[in-house]
């Protein structure tokens, strides 16, 4: 199966339409005079098949046509594509109309409305043409991979008037930037030197190479991380020794032993001993007890001072009273009995001033004796009291010392508890860091078979690389070109071209035709005469399409030549298309050219359309039967009525 053109339709701005119908195989000729729109056929088809810009020349077509439509078939599948004619000041238009399925009638003008984004058109036509998954991978350089699409296939389907007679350019648009390289990159796919299975292998090779790179990167990273891990392991072991999780004598020189020890440490519990005393509560209790003892000691000390003071005062009073009593008693100034208070007790003379009576002194002396006796009786009690207070004071002082020692011990115990808690927290932090480290380095243990996986990946890449070997692809391309060369040589001989004594071949690297002669290879640009340039273009493209149809390649099944007879039948010689006035040699060359094209179209058979746009009109019946349109007089691509109605 191949994509062919069933019909081409143009629409006026008034809603009228004009349709050109093509035979689905064989030779299709549109003949006519100049400036009737023949050369625009290629540009219209190219635009409808997804070209970004419209290259239809300014003139009647751009002025009086509103939409271009193309009815395509590929086996039982059909599609109608219509694109709006861009305004004269623009090179493209976003409106695209698509109808797919069985198309019995061409859509009417009112039905045309944009129903697909213009950037999806090329992909749609590519799939419709049967161009499957493919991708060319440049072996060197900075060029990106290239996927063949319908645009690349059309380079092999069009020969415009200025291309078919070129000695420098063999293919359509070969003179545009980047196009020659695109033709070189995609031609192996269109020739069938690489098929869909090749691209599946290529995709599988991409995945395998990506996996291999990932494994190798993992290995390299692992080598670096192993050194880092060993350094970190030693640091963690040092931390473990600091907090008592690892014995000081542990040897860290063996990486595996070090890692194993860290695994053991990561499973250690860091919870502090719950039986440790609650230091702050005990210290507070001891402080309260110490304060109570100190308060009691202060009270006892006050009592001691008071008792001692009282005892001192009593002793002083007793000494004074005793001294006075002793004085009075020693001189015995008073006798027993009463004495007059007007007589001197010493000389017993009469006194003018009254003196205390002896009885008064005796009474005072008696009172002093009583007081002295009382004080003397009280002294033993004070001594006992003072002794008791001193003992109590000593006891309290001893208790205070013990309480202070208990507080100091509590402080020591509390500091130990805090140290243990700090140690437990520090241990927990160290264990947490070690656990995280072990988890990160667990992949090292899981990747013990990494080298084996890398080796398996390398074998897989090697096997797939053999399947997509570029040298084998080049060999298949060359083998295909050799077979195509046989047809090129045959067709060149049928056209009576120069240099046909040897082999005619296509040079895919230079994109030109080469004739191998006894004197050496001759390239197209070194061959003389327009007849040879046109003839070798025709022979090459027909030979390629013979191969495409024979091998059922996804290249459209049409080839369009514009003005192939120009070397013998220039437009200025046109007399209603008749070749009678041409020189015999030119007349024979024109007839031979059309006969060869007709014979090749018949040889290729079903699914191939050879569309020729030319001035010539031969009187032969086979030529007449091949004509699908003749544009002379008032006839042209755009009906004259459209032009008249617009005036």
- Over residues 266-294, the pLDDT tens digits come to 677 655 444 444 556 676 787 778 778 87
Spatial distance between the Cα atoms of 646 and 118, rounded to a whole number of angstroms: 29
Bridge partners of residue 516, in order along the sequence: 503, 521
Instruction: Give one DSSP letter per residue of 45-102, joined into a string.
Output: HHHHTT-SS--PPTTHHHHH--EEEEEEEETTEEEEEEEEPPPTT-S----EEEEES-
Confidence class of residue 411 from pLDDT cuts 50, 70 and 90?
Answer: low
Task: Tell me the two tokens of residue 119.
Answer: 């950037």
**Contacts with 42 (C-beta within 8 Å, 6 or more apart), sequence order:** 158, 160, 560, 562, 613
Average pLDDT rounded to a whole number, residues 2-17:
95
Percent of the chain, pLDDT > 70? 72
What mean pLDDT do residues 227-245 have? 71
Residue 216 has pLDDT above 90, yes or no: no
Residue with tokens 């020693």: 330
pLDDT at 641 over 70: yes
- How far apart CA 163 and CA 432 sit, in angstroms, is 77
495/503 Cα distance (integer angstroms): 14
pLDDT band at 364 (very low <50, low <70, confident <90, very high): low
Among 248, 257, 242, 252, CA closest to 430: 242
Q: Encoding tokens for residue 43? A: 């540009």
Lowest mean pLDDT among 102-116, 313-327, 606-620: 313-327
Which of 340-354, 383-397, 511-525 has the weakest average pLDDT? 340-354
CA distance 384 to 240: 68
Identify the residue whose tokens are 């002194």: 361
441 three-state secondary structure: coil
CB distance 210 to 146 below 8 Å? no
Q: Distance between CA atoms of 630 and 577, rounded to whole angstroms? A: 10
- Residue 241 pLDDT greater than 80, yes or no: no
Give the model's pLDDT for residue 209. Answer: 83
Q: Which residues of 587-611 are buried (b: 16+ CB within 10 A; e: fewer)?
A: bebbbebbbbbbebbeebeebbbbb
What is d(CA 68, CA 12) in angstroms, rounded to the nearest whole number?
A: 9
Q: Three-class SS of residue 131?
A: coil
| 157 or 577, greater pLDDT | 157
Any residues with CB less than 8 A from the CB of 587 and at least 6 apart, and which?
568, 579, 580
The sign of the torsion formed by the CA atoms of 636, 641, 646, 647 equals: positive
pLDDT at 47 over 80: yes
629 within 8 A of 36, measured Cβ to Cβ: no
Q: Residue 505: which H helix or E strand, with range?
A: strand 503-507
Q: Find the helix or strand (DSSP H, E) in which 360 lies.
A: helix 358-440
| 27-31, 420-424, 473-477, range with the lowest pLDDT | 420-424
Residue 479 has pLDDT above 70, yes or no: yes
Please give the residue that has the higher pLDDT: either 629 or 311: 629
Which of 25-39, 386-400, 544-558, 576-590 comes out lowest in average pLDDT? 576-590
The confidence score (pLDDT) of residue 282 equals 72
Tell me if 568 sits within 8 A of 510, measured CB to CB: no
Residue 518's pLDDT band (cuts 50, 70, 90): confident
Residues 6+ apart with CB under 8 A from 235: none
- State the Cα–Cα distance between residues 117 and 187, nearest whole angstrom: 29
Give the residue with greater pLDDT, 144 vs 214.
Answer: 214
Q: Is the pLDDT of residue 592 over 70?
A: yes
Q: Please report, for residues 474, 527, 595, the alpha-carbon distance to residue 188 in angstroms, rounded to integers and kept in the order given.
A: 9, 27, 30
pLDDT band at 11 (very low <50, low <70, confident <90, very high): very high
Among the ranges given (457-466, 569-578, 613-622), the one the predictor scored with the smallest mean pLDDT: 569-578
**Cβ-proximal residues to 133 (8 Å cutoff; 6+ apart), any chain:** 196, 199, 200, 203
Q: How far apart are CA 454 and CA 456, in angstroms?
A: 5
Q: Which residue has the higher pLDDT, 420 or 22?
A: 22
Could you tell me the pLDDT band of residue 334, with boundaries at 50, 70 and 90? Answer: very low
Residue 136 has pLDDT above 60, yes or no: no
Angle at Cα 535 formed by Cα 534 and Cα 540, nearest 5°?
Answer: 100
Q: Give exposure, 435-472, as e/b (b: 16+ Cβ within 10 Å).
A: eebbeebeeeeeeeebeeebeebeebbeebeeebeeee
Q: Is 261 helix (H, G, I), strand (E, B) or coil?
A: helix
What pLDDT is stored for residue 275 in this prediction? 45
pLDDT band at 408 (very low <50, low <70, confident <90, very high): confident
- What pLDDT shows up at residue 371? 62
- Total H helices, total E strands in the chain: 17, 13
Is 340 a residue whose pLDDT tops 60? no
Q: What are phi and psi of 616, to 5 degrees?
A: -70, 150
Looking at residue 105, what is its pLDDT?
Answer: 93
Q: How many CB atoms lie within 10 A of CB 46?
A: 22
How far apart, in whole angstroms, are the C-alpha atoms of residue 521 and residue 514? 6
* Predicted local confidence at residue 140, as pLDDT: 52
Rounded distance between C-alpha atoms, residue 616 and residue 599, angstroms: 18
pLDDT at res. 337: 45
Angle at 288 between CA 284 and CA 292, to 5 degrees: 170
pLDDT surpasses 70 at 297: yes
Indicate the average pLDDT of the chain: 81
Q: Are 17 and 11 in contact (CB under 8 A)?
A: yes
Q: How far, in Å, CA of 376 to CA of 378, rounded?
A: 5
CA distance 73 to 560: 17
State residue 355's pLDDT score.
56
Q: Please classify residue 561 by burial: count the beta carbons closer than 10 Å to its beta carbon, then call 0-12 exposed, 13-18 middle and 19+ buried.
A: buried
pLDDT at residue 193, rounded to an integer: 84
Q: Tell whether the model's pLDDT for residue 139 goes beyond 50.
A: yes
Mean pLDDT of the region 131-158: 74
- Taking alpha carbons only, the member of 407, 596, 571 closest to residue 490 is 596
pLDDT given for residue 575 in this prediction: 60
The pTM of the full predicted model, rounded to 2 decimals, is: 0.63
Mean pLDDT value across residues 580-601 = 84
pLDDT at residue 377, as a whole number? 58
Please state, in angstroms and rounded to a whole number, the distance separating the CA atoms of residues 148 and 190. 8
Mean pLDDT on 555-575: 82
> Which residue from 594, 527, 538, 582 is spatially nearest to 561, judged by alpha carbons?
538
């Amino acid at each position: 199966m191949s994509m062919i053109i069933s019909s081409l339709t143009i629409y006026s701005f008034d809603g009228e339409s004009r349709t050109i119908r093509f035979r689905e195989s064989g030779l299709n000729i549109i003949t006519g005079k100049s400036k009737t729109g023949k050369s625009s056929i290629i540009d219209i088809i190219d635009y409808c098949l997804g070209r970004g810009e419209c290259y239809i020349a300014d003139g009647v077509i751009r002025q009086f046509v509103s939409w271009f439509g193309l009815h395509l078939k590929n086996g039982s599948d059909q599609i109608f594509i219509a694109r709006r004619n861009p305004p004269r000041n623009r090179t493209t238009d976003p409106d695209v109309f698509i109808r797919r399925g069985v198309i019995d009638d061409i859509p009417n003008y009112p039905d045309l409305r944009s129903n697909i984004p213009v950037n999806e058109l090329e992909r749609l036509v590519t799939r419709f043409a049967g161009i499957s998954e493919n991708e060319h991978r440049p072996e060197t350089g900075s060029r990106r991979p290239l996927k063949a699409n319908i645009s690349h296939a059309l380079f092999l389907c069009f020969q415009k008037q200025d291309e078919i007679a070129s000695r420098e350019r063999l293919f359509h648009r070969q003179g545009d930037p980047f196009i020659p390289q695109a033709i070189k990159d995609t031609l192996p796919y269109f020739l069938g030197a690489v098929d869909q299975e090749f691209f599946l292998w290529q995709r599988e090779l991409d995945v395998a190479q990506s996996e291999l790179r990932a494994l190798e990167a993992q290995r390299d990273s692992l080598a670096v991380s192993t050194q880092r891990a060993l350094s970190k392991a030693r640091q963690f072991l040092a931390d473990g020794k600091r907090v008592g999780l690892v014995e000081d004598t542990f040897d860290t020189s063996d990486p595996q032993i070090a890692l194993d020890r860290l695994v053991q440490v990561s499973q250690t519990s860091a919870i502090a001993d719950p039986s440790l005393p609650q230091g702050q509560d005990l210290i507070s209790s001891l402080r309260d007890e110490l304060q109570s003892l100190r308060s009691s000691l202060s009270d006892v000390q006050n009592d001691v001072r008071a008792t001692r003071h009282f005892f001192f005062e009593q002793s002083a009073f007793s000494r004074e009273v005793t001294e006075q009593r002793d004085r009075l008693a020693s001189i015995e100034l008073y006798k027993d009995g009463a004495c007059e208070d007007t007589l001197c007790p010493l000389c017993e003379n009469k006194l003018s001033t009254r003196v205390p009576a002896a009885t008064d002194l005796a009474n005072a002396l008696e009172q002093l004796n009583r007081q002295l006796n009382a004080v003397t009786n009280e002294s033993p009690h004070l001594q006992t009291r003072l002794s008791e207070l001193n003992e109590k004071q000593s006891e309290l002082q001893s208790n205070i010392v013990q309480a202070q020692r208990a507080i100091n011990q509590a402080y020591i115990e509390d500091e130990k508890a805090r140290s243990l808690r700090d140690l437990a927290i520090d241990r927990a932090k160290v264990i947490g860091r070690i656990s995280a480290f072990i988890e990160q380095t667990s992949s090292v243990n899981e990747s013990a078979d990494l080298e084996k996986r890398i080796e398996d990946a390398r074998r897989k890449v090697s096997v797939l690389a053999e399947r997509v070997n570029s040298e084998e692809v080049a060999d298949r391309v060359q083998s295909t070109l050799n077979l195509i060369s046989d047809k090129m040589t045959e067709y060149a001989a049928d056209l009576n071209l120069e240099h046909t004594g040897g082999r005619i071949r296509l040079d895919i690297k230079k994109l030109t035709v080469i004739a191998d002669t006894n004197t050496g290879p001759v390239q197209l640009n070194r061959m003389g005469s327009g007849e040879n340039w046109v003839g070798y273009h025709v022979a090459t493209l027909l030979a390629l399409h013979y191969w495409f149809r024979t091998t059922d390649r996804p290249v459209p099944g049409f080839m369009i030549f514009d003005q192939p007879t120009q070397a013998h039948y220039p437009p200025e010689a046109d007399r209603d298309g008749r070749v009678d006035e041409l020189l015999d040699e030119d007349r024979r060359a024109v007839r031979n050219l059309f006969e060869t094209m007709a014979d090749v179209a018949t040889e290729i058979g079903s699914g191939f359309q050879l569309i020729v746009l030319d001035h010539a009109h031969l009187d032969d019946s086979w030529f007449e039967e091949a004509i699908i349109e003749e544009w002379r007089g008032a006839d042209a691509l755009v009906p004259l009525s459209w032009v008249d109605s617009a005036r």
